[in-house]
Each structure stands twice: as structure tokens, then as C-alpha cells.
Amino acid sequence: MQVRVLGCSGAIAKDCRTTSFLVDTDLLVDAGTGVGDLTLDEMARIDDVVLTHCHLDHIAALPLMLDAVGGRRTRPLRVHALRATIEALRAHVFNNVIWPDFESIPSPEAPFVSFHDIAVGQTLQLGSAAPKRIEVLPAVHTVPACGFAVSRAEGGANWVFSGDTERNAPFWDRVNALDVAMLVIETAFSNREQALADRSLHLSPKVLADELAHITPGKQYPIYITHTKPAETEEIMGQIDALAAQRDIRWLKADGVLTF
Ligand SMILES: [Zn+2]
Ligand SMILES: [Zn+2]
């Protein structure tokens, strides 16, 4: 199984793209600005998108991608998200003001996109070329949000993604019960910006350390840090390096490929 990192930054700048991961060739996890690096053919091959939440850095490329490849596809792109996320997309993006309502364009019978509710705790099976099992994990954020664990449909190790989150004990209860190949977890702010991290419900290195202490002792897997703000990345890296002695902590890089 392969996860291509399209974007793993908390904001945009040269060489910084926001959250998006391509799993195999047919499943997109979040649709941040990293999607813009895909070719038209690569975008057209995506059948399903799972979204962690409605914030712009995770959905910015979705409306643009539908416009780019909707006409090349023979069936709607399926977008799976929490009901609140879908409601926000309908109200604030696909509202015929910010962007066309591609749920009924070009026709209600054959639209470019269809939306599908998911709920925390649910398990989906997606992917026709390479079937995958996707478990919806809890997250704690300023809007309804979730994370995901993705494995082969027949089972095996999981790629686990926290989504945007703050302190989240229920997440660890579930992750500790899974076979984890690797964990991708956000650390949006440095310790210096703790007040902002608290207010925006993101992690800092200090709180990340508390969170990683939930991992069952003896369980070891690579932990990749994502969603750092470009202006603070070096500072965050320095603060996390202090933890790295006890854990296998790595930095996600855009256009890197994770294989497991
Ligand atoms: Zn967010
Ligand atoms: Zn975000």
C-alpha cells in the first residue's frame, strides 16, 4: 500500500502545500492545495475523497479539482465526510456563489460530485482497483472533525492520520487497539504559540509529548509530523527533536511516498 504526500504544511508558501494524501491511485485523504500537483489523469483516477473536516486548508482544491476533471469522469466523485462537513460545503462552497453546485451540475442525474455521510467509529470500504478499509477516528477541533485509519480491505497494518486535533484520549484508545504501520499526526504550532494552539485546538510539541505518552508501552512505529506552520517549522522541529530520543519521530515531506 502506498500513500503519496501531496501536501503536509499548515499554510501555503513556495514548496509548502496544505494537507492532502493520495492512497494508491484512487483514494484522496483531504483535498488541500497539494492536489494541484497531480496531473489531470491522476486526478481523474480518484474515485473517492475522505475529508477530516471543512477547514479551507483541507478542502481548497476540491471545488477546483471537480471543475478540472469532472467532465473526464463517467461517474460522480464520491466525497465522504461528517454530516457537518458536508453541510458546510453545500452552504459555503458549492452554493452557486463561491462555486457551482456540482451536486446537480451538469445534471442532477449525472453530477460531478456526490456527498456521503460518515460518522466517527464507522468503517468504510472504498476503492475498486485496490479495496481499502477506512475507519473513522475521533478528533477534537474547532469544527466537527475526524481522523482516519486506512488498511487493505482484507486487513493488515494501518496508516493512521490524526487530522487536525488537540488532546484526544479516545483517539489513542482506538489507535492502541489497531495494528499501526505508521502514524501521521499534526503539530501546527510551536510551544511559544501555546495560547494560539489552545484556542484553535491544535497540538504543540509540548502537548504532542503528552499525547504520545498514551501509546501502549512497547508499541513502536514511525511517527510523522504534519501541518506545521511554514514560519514556525524549524522552531517546532527543534522542540520535537527533544522528544525524538524515545520515539521514532520523522518529518513528512511533500511529494514523499510512504509505503507499508
Ligand atoms: Zn482545521
Ligand atoms: Zn488544518
For residue 109, the CA-to-ligand 1 centroid distance in Å is 33
pLDDT at 170 over 90: yes
Instruction: For residue 19, give the ligand nearest its CA.
Output: 2
Q: Which three cell numbers stand for residue 23?
A: 492512497
> What are the counts of helices (DSSP H) followed by strands (DSSP E) for the chain?
8, 14
pLDDT over 90, % of the chain: 92
In terms of CATH, what superfamily is 2-259?
Ribonuclease Z/Hydroxyacylglutathione hydrolase-like (3.60.15.10)
pLDDT at 125 over 80: yes
pLDDT at 245 over 80: no
For residue 53, the CA-to-ligand 1 centroid distance in Å is 7
pLDDT at 244 over 80: no
For residue 154, the CA-to-ligand 2 centroid distance in Å is 31
For 94-154, give the DSSP string: SSSSSS--TTSSS-SSS-SEEEEEE-TT-EEEE-SSS-EEEEEEE---SSS-EEEEEEETT
Question: Quick one: 39 exposed, middle or buried, by C-beta within 10 A (0-12, 13-18, 19+)?
Answer: exposed
User: Rounded to an integer, what distance in angstroms lies between the CA atom of residue 242 and that of residue 186?
Assistant: 17
pLDDT over 70, % of the chain: 100
Domain layout of the chain by residue ranges: 2-259
Q: Which residue has the higher pLDDT, 130 or 60?
A: 60
Q: What is the pLDDT of residue 130?
A: 87
Measured CA angle at 151 (ends 21, 18), to 5 deg: 15
Residue 62, Cα to own-chain centre: how many angstroms? Answer: 13
Q: Is the pTM of this model over 0.75?
A: yes
Q: What is the pLDDT of residue 69?
A: 97
pLDDT at 58 over 80: yes
Q: Which residue has the higher pLDDT, 251 or 99?
A: 99
